[in-house]
Amino acid sequence: MLRKNEVQIKRFLIKPMRMKNAPLSERSRVGIFLIASFLILICFLPFYDRAKRAMNTNAVIRAYLTMALVDNMTAQVDQQVAEYGMPLDRAEKNGHIYSDKAPGLSFLAIPSYVMIRLVTRLITVRVPFDVVVYVMRISTVGIATIVLLYFMLNLLRGCVDTDLAYFCTAIYLLGTIAFPMSTDFLGHQVAAAFSFLAYYMLRRGMSDLRSVLIFCSGLFAGLSIMTEYPTVLIAAALFFLLWAGRPALSLPMSFVIGLAPPIAILMFYHRFAFGNFLDLGYGHTQHYFKILGIDTTGMGAALAVPSLHTLWQMAFSSYRGFFFFSPVMLFVLYGLWLLSRNGRRAESLMLAALAVGYFMLNAFMRDWEGGWSPGLRHLTPVVPLLILPLALSAQKIARMPEKGSLKKLLGVIFCAASFISVMQHTLIEATYLYFPWGVYHPLRDVCITFLTGGAWLCTLPSLLGAPDPVGPLLLVAGIAAFLWCFCRNGFAQLAPTRGTMWGTALVLVAWMGCILLLPPARTIQGDRFLALIYWNNALPSRFLDASRRIIEESPDREEKLRYARQSIFTAYEIMNEPQRALWFYNAYTALGGDVGGPRR
């Protein structure tokens, strides 16, 4: 009897120990990955007012529309403008002010804003505007990014090794423009989520020949168009991919039927706001181009013929280069070839044509830089569609002979490029989300300048009482832990030997040295000017109004240029008004003034 009890006690003690050491199930691993990703995004969401900067005007006008629809049952945002201020991004018609953006994101934020209004009525406390927008970001852009990551993991795990699927998904989240776009109230990342869901459902629907999945694909494609108009290119590309598969007529019809409801809602909104089903807000936009006398009537006025210099700036420059900020995306070209070799030639050609088409659409924009932007933000919706080719290239490298020189070379380049992409976008998130016009080396002249000057981004840890340097450092440590948990196995497959690991580390060090030692470029006022912009964002309205009148009334372009150039230095050096100087700087560059930065 005693021996029997001893055996039972041993089993009782040993069993929990074995369970403790048992590996996590795949479902639990996915859940932890998504929760950790969501926490990173929440902690990096900035509170602009606490950082002494004005809120992004692009986000403000979207929030105004949500508030106007709920509070006033109208698309006119006059009341919100009177209460919170006039944003630069806006549309005007018949004496009223509207949002000039696609309304999809504003529609998605309605439930969260309704909840805020209910809470304020219960506790009779006014919620600050920056907190309202913060909640809108979490409930729309944050949730959309997490949903995108979930389906991206599902897609990649069915095509490549599990560890590489986590590796590439983490690189997408932290090493592409998706990271900064996921932490602001802009439509680009939400449109990216809808576009990827449309692609995922179409892929599954074509494989299983299920009309309901094709219907969902069309529905998500329509939602992406409702959020960002240019995603009509993605919807068209997906439809042609479906049609190229020569399916039964019911499948293309299911796609069109799914596409119809969001398009109908979008057209009804245009009729409700501007009086015509096809009248977009961009046709009534009011921004500094119009203030400076540049015609902005209609969508065609926003276009300009690009030069080779513009294409180079968009692809490889330190100013806005897509591959400069995310060098790992160069492997997408190899992945597209692999996808074609794997029997998916039509899909590979569709993705390649879509990437090139989006790139060229961005190049033809007058404001191809995207304004104050951490890169080419207009390319955000197409980036998740390119992660599958990226993962296929990683899989091909991982399966090469371990001792082969080609495996070592490609493994070092892939891993180093991945971590360079993550480091650069983490630096952007921790210091300054948006790069000003004309700052040719923003990582050095903006991010590192703010980092060394103590101008940290005010995020959730700062609001909870952590000193400014501690908050960003905690977030960086959290990202490092996230990469260690979910990327080390994939890294071991790509760089399995000690020599390749050391080679990766040396490439990282060399890259950081290149960033710090970039050749100087003439920018408008240098580091002191940028620091003053950061800490003093109050521009008296009387100065701005007077400046607009003078520029509007100047007789010719050269006169406007002379006035703007002189006013830049007068406002900065004599009046100590950096924001007024910045406004004149934008006016000067919009008129074609040469400030030594990137030119068309």
Rounded Cα distance, 537 and 548, in Å: 18
What is the distance between the alpha carbons of residues 485 and 129, in angstroms, rounded to a whole number?
37
Q: What is the distance between the alpha carbons of residues 470 and 433, in angstroms, rounded to a whole number?
A: 18
Give Cα separations from 413 to 64, 161, 172, 333, 418 (angstroms). 45, 20, 17, 15, 8
Helix/strand/coil for 161: coil
Query: By three-state DSSP, how is residue 303 classified?
Result: strand
Q: How far apart are CA 392 and CA 159, in angstroms?
A: 8
As a whole number of angstroms, the distance between CA 335 and CA 330 comes to 9
Question: Which bin fits 127, alpha (ψ -120 to 50), beta or left (φ > 0)?
Answer: beta
Cα gap 560→578, rounded to integer Å: 20
pLDDT digits (tens, 9 = 90+) for 319-370: 889 999 999 999 999 999 999 988 889 899 999 999 999 999 888 887 788 7
Secondary structure class of 474 (helix, strand, coil): helix
Cα–Cα distances (Å) from 190 to 98, 103, 187, 343, 431, in that order, read 21, 12, 5, 31, 23
From the list 192, 423, 403, the residue with the least C-alpha distance to 328 is 423
Q: Return the SS3 of 96.
A: strand
What is the tens place of the pLDDT at every residue in 409-431?
Answer: 888 899 999 999 999 998 888 87
Structure tokens at 253: 């019809």
Angle at 100 between CA 97 and CA 103, to 5 degrees: 110
Q: What is the pLDDT of residue 234?
A: 94
Task: Write down the residue that tokens 């969902």 correspond to.
Answer: 216
Cα angle 462, 463, 467 (rounded to 5 degrees) comes to 30
3-class DSSP state for residue 98? Answer: strand
In which residue are the tokens 């950790």 written?
36
Q: Distance between CA atoms of 112 and 117, rounded to whole angstroms?
A: 9
Q: Is 285 helix (H, G, I), strand (E, B) or coil?
A: strand
Q: What is the DSSP string of 328-372?
A: GGGHHHHHHHHHHHTT-HHHHHHHHHHHHHHHHHHHTBTTTT-SS
List beta partners, residue 92.
97
Token reading at 193: 């989520």
User: Do residues 331 and 172 make contact, with C-beta atoms less than 8 angstroms apart?
Assistant: no
Query: What string of DSSP letters covers 104-155?
Result: HHHHHTHHHHHHHHHHHHHHT-PPPHHHHHHHHHIIIIIHHHHHHHHHHHHH
Q: Which amino acid, one-letter code, is at 268?
A: F
Question: Are residues 504 and 415 in contact, defined by beta-carbon separation less than 8 angstroms?
Answer: yes
> Phi, psi at residue 450, to the nearest 5°?
-65, -35
In sequence order, what DSSP letters do the residues of 56-81 get, joined into one string? PHHHHHHHHHHHHHHHTSSS--HHHH
CB atoms within 10 A of CB 522: 11
Question: Residue 192: its pLDDT value, please?
Answer: 96
* Amino acid at the residue 250: S
DSSP 400: S
89, 91, 96, 98: CA torsion to nearest 10: -80
d(CA 28, CA 24) in angstroms, rounded, equals: 6
What pLDDT shows up at residue 307? 78
pLDDT tens for the chain, residues 1 to 600? 445 444 443 443 334 434 344 466 888 889 999 999 998 888 877 765 433 344 677 888 899 999 999 998 998 888 888 888 777 778 888 888 888 888 999 999 999 999 999 988 888 778 888 888 888 999 999 999 999 999 999 999 999 999 999 999 999 999 999 999 998 889 999 999 999 999 999 999 888 778 899 999 999 999 999 999 999 999 999 999 988 877 777 788 999 999 999 999 999 998 888 888 887 877 777 654 444 444 544 554 566 777 788 888 899 988 889 999 999 999 999 999 999 988 889 899 999 999 999 999 888 887 788 777 888 999 999 999 999 999 999 999 998 887 778 888 888 899 999 999 999 998 888 877 777 766 778 887 777 777 776 666 667 777 777 776 777 778 888 889 999 999 889 888 888 888 778 888 888 888 877 777 766 554 433 444 444 444 344 434 444 555 555 556 655 666 666 666 666 655 554 455 555 666 666 666 666 665 444 333
Cα 379 to Cα 189: distance, rounded to the nearest angstrom: 10
Greatest CA separation for the chain: 107
Q: How far apart, in whole angstroms, are the C-alpha atoms of residue 522 and residue 543?
A: 27
CA atoms within 13 A on the CB side of 339: 26
Residues 246-264: tens digit of each pLDDT: 777 778 899 999 999 999 9
Predicted pLDDT of residue 275: 83
> Nearest-CA neighbor of 130 among 191, 32, 222, 60?
60
Report the alpha-carbon distance of residue 201 to residue 187 in Å, rounded.
Answer: 21
User: What tokens appear for 446 in the block?
Assistant: 């903006």
> What is the C-alpha separation between 95 and 80, in angstroms, rounded?
15
Q: What is the pLDDT of residue 49?
A: 41
Whole-number Å distance between alpha carbons of 309 and 281: 31
In the beta sheet, which residues pair with residue 97? 92
Q: Which residues pair with 91 in a beta bridge?
A: 98, 285
Q: Which residue has the tokens 């021996």?
A: 3
Using CA atoms, how far apart are residues 70 and 72, in angstroms rounded to an integer? 6
Do the beta carbons of residue 297 and residue 280 sit within 8 Å?
no
Write out the DSSP string of 413-443: HHHHHHHHHHHHHHHHHHH-S-PPTT-S-HI
